[in-house]
Amino acid sequence: MDATASPENIDIKLFDMVLCFSRAIDFLHPKISEHHLRVAYVASCLAEELRLGQAQIQEALIAGALHDVAAVSSEMHFDLFDDAVTRYHDGSVRDTGNLHQHGWEGYLLLRDFPPFAKAATAIRFHHVNWNFGHGREFKGEHVPLSSHVLRLADRIAVLPDNHRNVLEQVAGIRKTVADGNGRWFMPAVVETFDAVAEKESFWLDLVSKYKEQIINSRFGDSRVSLGLDGLYQLARIFGRIIDYRSPFTAAHSSGVAATSEELAFRLGMSATQKRLIGVAGNLHDIGKLAVPTEILDKPGQLTTQEMLIVRQHPYYTDRILSMVPGLETVNTWASLHHERLDGKGYPFRSREIPLGSRIVAVADIFTAITENRPYRRGMNRAQCLAVLERLIADGAIDGDVVEDTNVDWQDKVQQVLAANFLHLHHNMI
C-alpha cells in the first residue's frame, strides 16, 4: 500500500489479522503463555479429528484465537479470567453465572462481523459444562458442538506446566479430562481428544512455536482476503475490543478513527486512503493491550514506573501490526502516533513522519483531551484549541493538519464522536 493505494490492491488476509489480534490479547495474560494460540490449535485438532468440514475447522481456529476477548475488558473480568484458568479449571471454583459473562460479551463484540458470526456463537457458550446432557442448552438456547469443543480445548491449553516436559504430563492431563467426562465435557469430544492425545506430536506442537505454522496452514487454501471493506469492518470490531477494556476510553479508538477520516478527507486524501486511515485510527492503541487495566483506569497521577509502561504501547502497536503482511502503511500511520515533528516523541524518536501519521497524532490528541478520563473531565472547544495551538507552537504536531482544514472540523467530529458513543453503548446493553 502506498500513496496510490486503491481498493483492488488491498490484500490482507483475515486469518493474519485474527492471529495478530490473538497475539495481542495474549500479552494480557503473562501467567499463561500463548493461551489463545494454544486454544486455537487444540480446537482445530479436535475439529479435524471430528471430521468437520474446512469451514468448521476455520470457525474453531477463529473461536479459539479470540475466545476470551471480553475477559480482557475490565478488572473484574480479568480476575475472573485468572480464576477461569487457575482455579476454575481444577474444579475448585464454582460454575457461577458470572463465568459465562465474558462468553456473552465476546459474542456481542464479535458477532457483527460476518466472518466471525459462527465463531461468536461458539464463544458465547464456551464455559457451558456438558452436565450429563443438560449442556445441550443454556438458558433455553441451543449450545453448538463448537462450544463444547472450545470448552475442552480451553482446558487442555492451560493444563501443561511449562517448566516440565509435556510428554511426562500426558497421562495426568488425560486423567483430568477423563474425570470430567460427561460432567464438564461432552463425551463425543472427549473420545475425539483421546484419539488426538495418543500422538506425541500433538503435545509437542501444543507447547512449541511450530503450532503457529500448523494453524496457519489449517486455515488453508481458502485464506480469505479481506478487501478494503472487510479490513475496515474488522478494524472497527478490534477497535471496539481495545476500547472496551476501560470505561474511560469506551469510544477512544473509534473516535480517533472518525477524527482521522474527517481530517484525511479535508486534506484531500483519496477515498481509499481515508478508509485506511480509519483502520489505522481503530488499531493505533492495539499495543495498549499490553498495559494492565489498573494502570489504564488509575484515578490520579501515574508513577514514573507506570508511565514508562504506558509509553511502551506504540512500540507494541508497531510490533503487533508488523506481523500482518500488507498492513505496512496502516502500521506506520498507527504506530507513529506519539512521535513529534521535532523528534522528541516516542518510542522511535522519528522526525520523518508521514502525513497519515501526523493526522492520527492530531486525532489522538483531540479525541483524548475531549473525552473524560479518571483524573479529569473532557475539555471544551476553546480549551481544546488552545492545547492544539500550543503543541503546534512547540513543534510537536503539524499545524497544517489542524488549521488548513476548515475550522469547523472539531464540531463535526464531536458530533461523530457522540453518535459513536451512543451506538456502542446501545450495542452492548
Is the bond leading into 347 cis (omega within 30 degrees of zero)?
yes
Query: What gap in Å lies between CA 1 and CA 3, rounded to an integer?
Result: 7
- Closer Cβ to Fe ion, 154 or 261, answer by number: 154
**Which residues lie closer than 8 Å to 418 by C-beta, 6 or more apart?**
none
Query: What gap in Å lies between CA 312 and CA 389, rounded to an integer?
Result: 26
- Segments in 68-158 forming alpha helices (H): 75-85, 101-110, 117-124, 145-158
By CB under 5 A, which span of 6-14, 279-287, 290-298, 365-373 interacts with Fe ion? 279-287
- Closer Cβ to Fe ion, 68 or 371, answer by number: 68
Contact flag: residue 154 with Fe ion (CB under 5 A) = yes
- Segments in 220-354 forming alpha helices (H): 227-244, 252-266, 271-283, 293-296, 304-310, 313-321, 328-335
The site for Fe ion, by CB under 5 A, has a size of 3
According to DSSP, the residues that pair with 181 across neighbouring strands are 185
Contact flag: residue 339 with Fe ion (CB under 5 A) = no
Give the CA diameter of the chain: 69
Give min distance, CB of 155 to Fe ion, in A: 9
- Closer Cβ to Fe ion, 159 or 323, answer by number: 159
By CB under 5 A, which span of 11-19, 48-56, 283-291, 410-418 interacts with Fe ion? 283-291
Mapped onto helix, strand or coil, the DSSP state of residue 260 is helix
Give min distance, CB of 73 to Fe ion, in A: 12
Q: Alpha carbon 49 to chain centroid distance?
A: 28
- Closer Cβ to Fe ion, 154 or 398, answer by number: 154
By CB under 5 A, which span of 243-251, 284-292, 320-328, 397-405 interacts with Fe ion? 284-292
- Closer Cβ to Fe ion, 31 or 423, answer by number: 31
Q: 464540531: which residue's cell?
A: 411
- Closer Cβ to Fe ion, 154 or 371, answer by number: 154
- Closer Cβ to Fe ion, 226 or 263, answer by number: 263
DSSP string, 155-167: HHHH-S-TTS-HH
The amino acid occupying position 210 is: Y
Give min distance, CB of 80 to Fe ion, in A: 8
- Closer Cβ to Fe ion, 10 or 290, answer by number: 290
Give min distance, CB of 273 to Fe ion, in A: 21
- Positions in 188-207 near Fe ion (CB under 5 A): none
Give min distance, CB of 143 to Fe ion, in A: 15
- Positions in 35-74 near Fe ion (CB under 5 A): 68
**Cβ-based neighbour number of residue 351 at 10 Å:** 12
By CB under 5 A, which span of 149-157, 271-279, 319-327, 367-375 interacts with Fe ion? 149-157
Q: What is the dihedral of CA 320, 325, 326, 332, to 10 degrees?
A: 30
By CB under 5 A, which span of 4-12, 48-56, 150-158, 291-299 interacts with Fe ion? 150-158
Query: What gap in Å lies between CA 265 and CA 359, rounded to an integer?
Result: 11
Query: What gap in Å lies between CA 78 and CA 89, rounded to an integer?
Result: 15
Q: Give kind and range of the element (H or E) at residue 373.
A: none
Give min distance, CB of 252 to Fe ion, in A: 9
Count of H helices and E strands in the chain? 22, 2
Contact flag: residue 34 with Fe ion (CB under 5 A) = no
- Positions in 108-137 near Fe ion (CB under 5 A): none
- Closer Cβ to Fe ion, 227 or 378, answer by number: 378
* Nearest position to Fe ion, beta carbon: 154
According to DSSP, the residues that pair with 225 across neighbouring strands are 13
Grid cell, residue 330, equals 496502516
- Closer Cβ to Fe ion, 42 or 190, answer by number: 42
**Which residues lie closer than 8 Å to 265 by C-beta, 6 or more apart?**
274
Give min distance, CB of 317 to Fe ion, in A: 8
Give min distance, CB of 70 to Fe ion, in A: 9
Query: What gap in Å lies between CA 261 and CA 359, rounded to an integer?
Result: 9
By CB under 5 A, which span of 148-156, 167-175, 269-277, 400-408 interacts with Fe ion? 148-156
Given the rule CB under 5 A, which residues bind Fe ion?
68, 154, 285
